[in-house]
Amino acid sequence: MNFIALDLGTSFIKGAIIDVDAGRSGHIRRVPFPDPIPGLPPLVCEIDPFAILAATRELIAALAPHAPDCQGIVMCGQMQGLVLTDERAVPLSNYISWRDQRAVMAHPSGAGTYFDHLMTRIAPHERQRTGNEWKPSLPACALFWLAAQNQLPRAAAIPATLSDFVVANLCGVPPTIEATNASVHGVLDLETGDWHRAVIANLGLTALRFPELRRAGDIVGWLELNGKRVPCYTPLGDQPTALVGALLREGELSLNISTGSQVALLTPRLAFADCQTRPFFDGKFLNIITHIPAGRSLSALVNLLTEVTRAAEPDAWEYIVRAAEQVRATDLRVNLAFFAGACGDHGAIENIREDTLTVGHLFRAAFENMAENYFACAQRLSPERAWERIVFSGGLAQKIVLLRRLIAEKFAVPTRVCPTTEDTLLGLTLLARVFSRMSESVETAIAETQRKT
């Protein structure tokens, strides 16, 4: 049973043919995600929605000949962006990316930013019920700015996620939304599973028509493909989809380490903690901390070291990891919080001596700092340490054995590595098994896959 899987990422739109029976993907193709529109004001990041649609259609057309018996299309995509549309999914705005930061523009009152003013309108208990995830990149923040600027469309507009906008156009239906995407709009009430109408009103967004909420596995429309009608399933958030691909189960702590990084823990029911909370699948939830220093901060160190020579080797990382492996211990201290995030916004390199100011000591100290950060964030998620094993995913975690070893030593629990570098595609494959009723639940699909491997 073959499906077409699509992942609308920030750098690429990725597609593949997934074999749901065998649990694998093939014919993987990528097309570049369209660049942001040039010449926009600082902090504004928008992309032409028609260019995104064209790139997606191009990818589907390239994949279709490899799946003449395609049984469905499953999709996930970048979270926290939006397109305003009408009920026919005709765009009324550009795609406002999750990278958009207009909410931190100075408020015309002269006191603080638009985001500061927004936060005064949301009570602490409302912040918790909407997931404790309020930050300037949320769609609700961009919508608040548009409302303040009188730039919302005159007609009742639907704020759609990117993937919901795309699938609605493919099928010619109004945009709808599933909980993993709806939660990062910022105004989903996790306790009721419906939009938080009071928060929407407090932000001045009642003129908008928030999309109909769907369940994972719902068919939202049909696409003519290879001479037949193929069902398109409601799109899902890429982050929880990737965790399905990492085969995450209860009792396991997810460490996804790439350009950015996240610590996440599954909970069988809604349980708020000192972190963000998001819906998962099978009625479960994720407690999660994001924006933990990782690849972006390490790249800042690499750029510093290679600024003059741009590395003596073709791959600076090979030299760096080898040098760090040779350092058995160091008292050099590195704080990787070079960018604002879960661990602060002021990094440091401390306790420098002539003999420790080397690549090996510097990156060993950086990796040790990462291990300390993950342990501190994990304890915020679960002070009782409700995990039995760590699951590593993401490019850095899969590439750097020393980093995994230092983290394992810090946590003192068993670890495993995500079985694939294509975690979103594996996640979509397992979800397609559930949607096609080959597996009764996501948990079952994960267990079946683990038995095969």
Q: Is 232 exposed, middle or buried (0-12, 13-18, 19+ CB in 10 A)?
A: buried
Is residue 450 a part of any domain in this protein?
no
Does one domain contain both 169 and 277?
Answer: no
Is the residue at 138 inside a domain? yes
Residues 255 and 232 in one domain: no
Q: Global pTM?
A: 0.91
267 and 126 within one domain: no
Asked whether the predicted pLDDT for residue 203 surpasses 80, the reply is yes
Please determine, for residue 306, whether its predicted confidence score (pLDDT) is greater than 90. no
Looking at the structure, tell me whether residues 57 and 145 fall in a common domain. Answer: yes
Task: Give residue 300's pLDDT.
Answer: 87
Same domain, 199 and 266: no
Give burial (CB, 10 Å; 0-12/13-18/19+) of 92: middle
Whether residues 289 and 222 share a domain: the answer is: no
Across 96-105, average pLDDT:
95
* Cα 339 to Cα 167: distance, rounded to the nearest angstrom: 35
Burial 38-73 (b: 16+ CB within 10 A, else e): eeeeeebbbbebeebbebbeebbeebbeebeebebb
At 338 the pLDDT is 86
Burial 249-284 (b: 16+ CB within 10 A, else e): beebbbbbbbebbbbbbbbeeeebbebbbbbbbeeb
**Which of 217, 238, 259 is the last residue in one of the domains?**
238
Using an 8 Å Cβ cutoff, are 337 and 293 in contact? yes
Query: Residue 423 falls within a domain, yes or no?
Result: no
In the chain, the number of structural domains is 2
Residue 135, token pair as written in the block: 């930050």
User: 117 and 7, same structural domain?
Assistant: yes
Q: Output the pLDDT for position 58.
A: 95
Is residue 346 very low, low, confident or very high in pLDDT (cuts 50, 70, 90)? Answer: confident
Check whether residue 389 and residue 318 sit in a common domain: yes
Same domain, 179 and 288: no
pLDDT digits (tens, 9 = 90+) for 256-293: 999 889 999 999 999 999 999 999 999 999 999 998 99
Residue 430 lies in a domain: no
**How long a stretch of residues is the chain?**
453
**How much is the pLDDT for 155?**
79
The tokens describing 132, both together, are: 């404790």
Residues 76 and 167 in one domain: yes
Would 425 be classed as within a structural domain? no
Q: What is the pLDDT of residue 341?
A: 83
pLDDT band at 309 (very low <50, low <70, confident <90, very high): low
- What mean pLDDT is predicted for residues 85-92? 95
- Asked, for residue 337, whether it belongs to a domain, the answer is yes
Q: Is residue 339 part of a domain?
A: yes
71 with 219, same domain: the answer is yes
What is the 3-state secondary structure of the chain? CEEEEEEECCCEEEEEEEECCCCEEEEEEEEECCCCCCCCCCCCCEECHHHHHHHHHHHHHHHHHHCCCCCCEEEEECCCCEEEECCCCCECCCEECCCCCHHHCECCCCCCEHHHHHHCCCCHHHHHHCCCCCCCCCHHHHHHHHHHCCCCCCCCCEEECHHHHHHHHHHCCCCEEEHHHHHHHCCEECCCCEECHHHHHHCCCCCCCCCEEECCCCEEEEEEECCEEEEEECCEEHHHHHHHHCCCCCCEEEEEECCCEEEEEEECCCCCCCCEEEECCCCCEEEEECCCCCHHHHHHHHHHHCCCCCCCCCCHHHHHHHHHHHCCCCCCEEECCCCCECCECCCEEECCCCCCCCHHHHHHHHHHHHHHHHHHHHHHHCCCCCCCEEEEECHHHHHCHHHHHHHHHHHCCCEEECCCCCHHHHHHHHHHHHHCCCCCCHHHHHHHHHHHC
Say if residue 311's pLDDT is above 50. no
Rounded Cα–Cα distance for residues 27 and 67 (Å): 10
Q: Domain boundary residue among 201, 216, 238?
A: 238
Residue 381 domain boundaries:
248-418
Stretch 157-186: mean pLDDT? 96
Both 229 and 288 in one domain: the answer is: no
For the chain, the average pLDDT equals: 93
Indicate whether 310 pLDDT > 80: no
Structure tokens at 53: 């649609």
The CA-atom distances, in angstroms, between 216 and each of 175, 230, 265, 400, 415 are: 15, 17, 20, 35, 29
Domain with 369 in it: what CATH number? 3.30.420.40
- Give me the mean pLDDT over the 303-330 stretch: 78
**Do the domain assignments include residue 446?**
no
Q: Which of 176, 208, 238 is the last residue of a domain?
A: 238
Mean local confidence (pLDDT), 33-46:
95
